């Protein structure tokens, strides 16, 4: 198992436009949450949907690329890695967050097949 890597592949819908924060030395970070919908049948045989939200982070050139592609509601595919953060709130409480640092992003386009009528 020595070849396991920290890698995440997701396809989902952007919950908002990106929030871009500039830093010194022309560095920047862009953040957005993405919704992943999963469909299944519950114990009664009824179709159900579960939505999970994941926080995405884009740094520097990736942030510039993401701003061009991602708008609220856009379906995107990403490849990245998990990153855990620890921070302290203004109230002094310790909090933990897991984000996905994105390496690749692309817009998902769906094609509609024409149905021939008799």
- The predicted pLDDT at position 109 comes to 80
Would you say residue 118 has pLDDT above 70?
Answer: no
Residue 116 lies in a domain: no
Tell me the average pLDDT of the chain. Answer: 90
Residue 83 lies in a domain: yes
The parent domain of residue 60 ranges over 8-107
75/63 Cα distance (integer angstroms): 17
Residue 112 lies in a domain: no
Residue 17 lies in a domain: yes
Would you say residue 111 has pLDDT above 70?
Answer: no
Percentage of the chain modeled with pLDDT above 70: 90
52-105 residue pLDDT tens: 999 999 999 999 999 998 999 999 999 999 999 999 999 999 999 999 999 999
Q: What is the CATH number of the domain that holds 38?
A: 2.40.50.140
Residue 18 lies in a domain: yes
Would you say residue 113 has pLDDT above 70?
Answer: no
CA distances, 12 to each of 37, 62, 95 (Å): 7, 18, 26
pLDDT confidence tier of residue 115, bands split at 50, 70 and 90: low
- Closest by Cα among 37, 67, 41, 42 to 53: 37
- Closest by Cα among 78, 79, 63 to 12: 78
């Amino acid at each position: 198992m020595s070849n396991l890597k920290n890698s995440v592949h997701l396809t989902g819908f952007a919950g908002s436009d990106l929030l871009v924060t500039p830093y010194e030395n022309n560095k920047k970070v862009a953040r957005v949450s993405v919704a992943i919908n999963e469909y299944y049948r519950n114990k009664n045989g009824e179709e159900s949907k579960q939505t999970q939200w994941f926080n995405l982070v884009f740094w520097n050139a990736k942030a510039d690329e993401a701003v061009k592609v991602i708008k609220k509601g856009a379906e995107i595919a990403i490849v990245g890695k998990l990153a855990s953060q620890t921070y302290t709130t203004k109230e002094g409480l310790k909090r933990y967050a897991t984000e996905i640092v994105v390496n690749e992003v692309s817009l998902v386009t769906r094609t509609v097949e024409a149905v021939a009528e008799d």
